[in-house]
Amino acid sequence: MNLSPVLSVAIRAARSAGRIAARHFDERHRLEVHEKAPMDLVTSADIAVERELIEQLMRAYPDYAILAEESGRHDNRKAKGWQWIIDPIDGTANFAHGMPHFGISVALAKDGEVQAGLVFDPLRDELFVAEKGRGAFLNDRRIRVSDETRLAHALLATGFPFRKPKLKEPYLKAFAAMLQQTGELRRAGSASLDLAYVAAGRYDGYFEMRLSPWDIAAGVLLVTEAGGFVTDLNGGNAYLTSGDVVAGSPAMQPQVLDALRAVDLHRVIG
């Protein structure tokens, strides 16, 4: 795999940050844990990992803007549309409870369109990377979305809209409908890894609502570069702004979208 300089920098930053995350994970009894909002945690590990990512990315590309989950926007007049989008630990609740399922997500966008991205699982040493027009890879091996064509046999992933209590009822209606139609449904707690797993063919499809750009920016590029489709609940491409995502293989994604539309989820959540 021939990496661009910008992706090489992002990989070095993610691996360095991953070592920090793994060390904090091994010493969870020392973690400082705070609640940003009900059921929305931030730990001292999130802060340390994000600091390392920003420091390395800014050292290499000081003129690029940054959008990071914990510290917000770092704007730069010289950015000319370039912006890093960072989630230091996607799956903080898992991390804080000792569940070894979380990822570091880094994407680079130009004028709002993602050009490169990675999702790194430091505990499994799995690095998912993609660049626009150049394919998707897992640890230097090209990956593709699954070839499953039947929703009844599919393994899907999802997440709960815990930040939006008003969405719980319509979401549970959609969840129940999907359970009736699909083979299996998983909720693992890390949107970026869910999307990376769709890209690698481990999941056949994925849907979730009201996510943030840092949750999905790298993951959606992985899916599309692995040959999959990604839309919002209206079948459009406004997922980075709406946070509503439906992803999967060319055969599976339209079926998942149709099943969600059948319960009017796109109309209910507006």
C-alpha–C-alpha distance, residues 91 and 123, integer Å: 13
Look at the block and give the residue holding tokens 């920098």.
9
248 Rama sector, left if φ>0, alpha if ψ -120 to 50, beta otherwise = left
**228 has pLDDT over 80:** yes
> Is the confidence at residue 76, as pLDDT, over 80?
no
Strand order in the sheet with 229-231: 184-186, 155-158, 205-208, 245-248, 229-231
pLDDT for the residue numbered 270: 55
The structure tokens 């704007």 sit at: 75
DSSP string, 246-268: EEE-TTHHHHHHHHHHHTTHHHH
As a whole number of Å, the end-to-end CA separation of the chain is 42
pLDDT (mean) for 54-77: 89
- Give the separation between CA 109 and CA 117, rounded to whole angstroms: 9
Most confident region among 21-35, 74-88, 126-140, 161-175 by mean pLDDT: 126-140
Instruction: Give the tens place of pLDDT for each residue, 239-269.
Output: 999 999 999 999 999 999 999 888 776 665 6
Write out the two tokens for 100. Answer: 């070894």
pLDDT band for 188, please (50, 70, 90 cuts): very high
> Measured between alpha carbons, how far is 90 from 13 in angstroms, rounded to an integer?
16
Q: What is the pLDDT of residue 179?
A: 87
Q: What is the pLDDT of residue 261?
A: 86
Report the alpha-carbon distance of residue 80 to residue 99 in Å, rounded. Answer: 40
Which of residues 38 and 107 earns the better pLDDT score?
A: 107
Residues whose CB falls within 8 Å of the CB of residue 194, separated by 6 or more in sequence, listed in order: 157, 158, 159, 188, 203, 206, 208, 219
Q: How far apart are CA 255 and CA 249, in angstroms?
A: 10
Question: Would you state the pLDDT for residue 267?
Answer: 61
Q: Is 69 left (phi over 0), alpha (psi -120 to 50) or beta?
A: alpha
Q: Stretch 194-202: mean pLDDT, rounded?
A: 98
- Range 214-236 average pLDDT: 96
246 DSSP β-pair partners:
207, 231
Residue type, 223: V
The pair of structure tokens assigned to 111 is: 């004028």
For residues 169-182, give the mean pLDDT: 85
- Distances 203 to 39, 93, 108, 240, 248 between C-alpha atoms, Å: 26, 22, 25, 21, 8
Tokens standing for 119? 């999702």
Q: How confident is the model at residue 173 (pLDDT cuts 50, 70, 90)?
A: confident
Task: Give residue 225's pLDDT.
Answer: 98
What average pLDDT is seen over the chain? 91
pLDDT in tens, 20-61: 999 999 998 888 887 766 556 778 899 999 999 999 999 999
Question: Cβ-count burial of 236 within 10 angstroms (0-12 exposed, 13-18 middle, 19+ buried)?
Answer: exposed
Residue 149 banded pLDDT, cuts 50, 70, 90: very high
Cβ neighbours of residue 80 closer than 8 Å, sequence gap 6 or more: 63
pLDDT of residue 40: 65
Q: Is 150 helix (H, G, I), strand (E, B) or coil?
A: coil
